[in-house]
Amino acid sequence: MESSELNLVATIMAGGTGTRFWPMSTKARPKQFLKLFGDRSLLQKSYDRIRDLLPVERILVLTNAAHVQMVREQLPELPHGNVIGEPLKRDTAAAVGLAAALCRRRFGNPVILTLTADHLIEPVDLFQKTLLSAARKASEDNVLYTFGIKPDYPATGYGYLEFGKRVFQDDGIDHFELLRFKEKPDLETAKGYLSLGRFYWNSGMFVWTAEAILREMEAKLPHHYRCMTMAASSDGSPHGRRSWKTRSTAFTPFPLTTV
């Protein structure tokens, strides 16, 4: 199944404040808007990596309301309604839930590529191949996918994924059972993870259908689910447009760099 046969949507999470990259990254201009590697910002590079997989109308960017104009300046080809400004900074689950609710309202039950705006990923063709491999299985089996980064030092600033048995292989792309998420560890714990060889850094990127992630959110985070679906229900209405503008169980590893 090729990308054109999948009901694909991409949502780019670009609401971070970039505190780990201060002083280059500031509250007014977080790292996702900086040109750290070449003449394209991290946000633009995230967009470039998936642009040939789906139409521009199916790419959404979620950001802080204060940064909506900056996103539009860096990605002028995006429809204005595809840049979503969050009025308050909340956790990742809130952004994921809002994105899924909006995608369900606009596109039915698409496969959502939930991506970050602060990674450097190479080679791009392998990344795309990995994304599509996860998207096909997410569509067929209604499972949730996340992507792991093979660690090369005992980082304490990232979350970790513990993987189990390999459950599937698709043209050289390995899919593993995900046993558990672990939050940012202390140094000794991180060293232990590294020595065990069955932990990856959590990339914060996911692939799932809108219905699959919203079903899990309704069961595990019902308050988030109610709030996000209520917010999405006004999408496209005059009130909703004003609101956005003014307040505006598997995983696959992939080598990439977290900046």
Which of the pair, 7 or 248, is modelled with greater confidence? Answer: 7
243 vs 223 pLDDT, higher one:
223
For position 18, what pLDDT does the model report? 54
Task: Produce one character per residue of 95-111: b if its CB has 16 or more CB atoms within 10 Å, e if not.
Answer: bbbbbbbbbbebbeebb
At 125, the pLDDT band (50, 70, 90 cuts) reads very high
CA angle 170, 117, 101 (to 5 degrees): 75
The residue assigned the tokens 């219905």 is 211
pLDDT tops 60 at residue 156: yes
CATH number of the structural domain 3-149+204-258: 3.90.550.10
**pLDDT confidence of 247, banded at 50, 70, 90?**
very low
Q: How far is CA 67 from the centre of its chain?
A: 18
Each residue's pLDDT tens digit, 167-222: 999 989 999 999 999 999 999 999 999 999 999 999 999 999 999 999 999 999 99
Question: How would residue 243 be classed by pLDDT, with cut points 50, 70 and 90?
Answer: very low
Across 28-32, 166-170, 206-210, 248-252, the highest mean pLDDT is recorded for: 206-210
Of residues 37 and 18, the one with the higher pLDDT is 37
Please report the pLDDT score of residue 24 as a whole number. 56
In the predicted structure, residue 256 carries a pLDDT above the cut 50: no
What is the reported pLDDT for 19?
55
Whether the CA torsion 156, 159, 164, 169 is positive or negative: it is negative
Query: What pLDDT is stored for residue 66 in this prediction?
Result: 86
pLDDT-based confidence at residue 161 (cuts at 50, 70, 90): very high
What is the percent of the chain where pLDDT is above 70? Answer: 82
Q: What is the pLDDT of residues 48-91, one digit of tens each?
A: 999 999 999 999 999 988 889 999 999 999 999 999 987 777 67
What is the overall mean pLDDT for the chain? 85
Q: Is the pLDDT of residue 241 over 50?
A: no
Q: Tell me what pLDDT residue 20 has.
A: 56
Can you give the pLDDT at residue 127? 95
Residue 78 pLDDT: 95
